[in-house]
Amino acid sequence: MPFAFFACLLLLLFIGRTCFLRVPFSTSQVLWYKKSSTTVTQGDSASTDKHFKETSCAIDDLYSSEEKSTVLHLLNSASKEELTALKLIRGRKSAKIIDHRDKHGPFQNLQSLLEVPTFQYKTTIEVCNFILKHLTKEGKAVKNQNPISIIMKYVTSEIERERLKAANSIVSVVFGTRKIAWAHVDRHLTVQDWQQQEYTMFMKGSYVPALYLEEISSVVSKFPEADFYVLEKTGFSNHNPGLFPVSLHQRTVEAMLYALLHKTFAQNGEQKVLSMPRNAVGKYFGLMVGGARASGIDLVKKFLLESLTQAEARVNFPNHQILCYRNALLVKQKRDEELCDSLLQAIAFCEFLRQDTT
């Protein structure tokens, strides 16, 4: 009995040794493999935990309501050119923001930025922080500067001071790639006329001088008589060759407007046409974000509402037109940037006239 027991025990040991020797890696390799496998699993777990922690923390929770409103206002209202001017958003990011906005409407919250292609959690945070940083920087610069001095330094020396003091009304003109808008405002900030005209043949194919002359002449024929005509002067970066066709168009329209206005309204050779840089008006109203200017539509809506509800509003609109103006700006499919910008430019210049004479 003992002999049989020991014989079985030896047989089992022999079989076990033979099976172990057939394993194609050593004991140290087995231990190394297990250790490496454990390390990889722990790394995956840490990465997963970090990702879960980031995505579970809503982006909107990281900012105050005012900061969220500021970022969303810029991203929902800025044009492609304005977004491109922001260093961190230029290029594909700005194009994707515009494309997503056009397809799905304005961003409702900061978290919805993650729906923009290639926008990850970290990218979205960087974009929001960049916008807020430059807004704060521009806001401090404007706050420390007399708002009237911003306008004053752009008034050409060719205009005599006495003529400016005696001015009763101006026509502010702003033009884009498809529209020319104008606002006729008196020195008491009462809107006499405010409208725009669309032209569809510009920016298509070659720049035909006769076509420009015909379209712009028809617009100038509708302008009322005023003491001064103020043209918006836009600036484009030389580092973005893609904007050259737009810049060429803007310069052509500006030159023709200047010539036609001077020919039509100048008296005794007196200068009546002025140019005011777009960014000067943007700084005056605090609309600058870095080197770009945000939309002024919401500000104009505020002026319209004040005129309707307050006895002494900053801007006075004709009673029979105010609701028509307000309803037109409420149409989301239309972006009447030129119309709003023409009014803001008129307000800035007229407030300069009023304070410069006191």
pTM here is: 0.63
What domain count does the chain have? 2
CATH number for the domain spanning 134: value is 1.10.150.280
Say whether both 113 and 194 belong to one domain.
Answer: no
Say whether both 154 and 135 belong to one domain.
Answer: no
Give dist(CA 327, CA 72) in Å, integer: 23
The token pair at 231 is 């043209």
Distances from the Cα of 336 to the Cαs of 120, 176, 224, 251, 327, in angstroms? Answer: 32, 10, 21, 21, 12
pLDDT tens digits, 264-319: 998 887 889 988 888 888 888 888 776 678 888 889 999 999 998 998 999 999 98
pLDDT tens digits, 129-185: 888 876 665 554 444 455 555 555 555 555 667 788 889 999 999 998 889 999 999
From 82, 115, 143, give the residue that closes a domain. Answer: 143
Say whether both 91 and 183 belong to one domain.
Answer: no
Say whether both 338 and 211 belong to one domain.
Answer: yes
For residue 167, which phi and psi values (nearest 5 degrees)?
Answer: -65, 135
From 143, 174, 194, give the residue that closes a domain. Answer: 143
Q: Domain for residue 212, yes or no? A: yes
Say whether both 126 and 174 belong to one domain.
Answer: no
Q: Domain for residue 25, yes or no? A: no
Say whether both 195 and 226 belong to one domain.
Answer: yes
Predicted pLDDT at 37: 39
Q: Domain for residue 234, yes or no? A: yes
Give dist(CA 279, CA 291) in Å, integer: 8
Q: How far apart are the first and last CA of the chain?
A: 126
Give dist(CA 106, CA 100) in Å, integer: 9
Say whether both 186 and 128 belong to one domain.
Answer: no
Q: Nearest-CA neighbor of 174 among 336, 326, 351, 316?
A: 336
Give dist(CA 138, CA 288) in Å, integer: 7
Give dist(CA 147, CA 280) in Å, integer: 10
Give the percent of the chain with pLDDT over 70.
70
From 143, 158, 176, give the residue that closes a domain. Answer: 143
Say whether both 119 and 182 belong to one domain.
Answer: no
Say whether both 218 and 278 belong to one domain.
Answer: yes
Predicted pLDDT at 174: 96
Predicted pLDDT at 306: 93
pLDDT tens digits, 92-137: 888 889 888 888 888 889 999 999 998 889 888 988 888 887 666 5
Say whether both 165 and 275 belong to one domain.
Answer: yes
Q: Domain for residue 9, yes or no? A: no
Report the DSSP beta bridge partners of residue 36: none
Rounded to an integer, the average pLDDT of 47-54 is 44
| Residue 286 exposure: Cα atoms within 13 Å on the Cβ side | 13
CATH number for the domain spanning 309: value is 3.30.420.10
Say whether both 290 and 188 belong to one domain.
Answer: yes
Q: Nearest-CA neighbor of 258 among 273, 240, 243?
A: 273
Domain range holding 104? 61-143
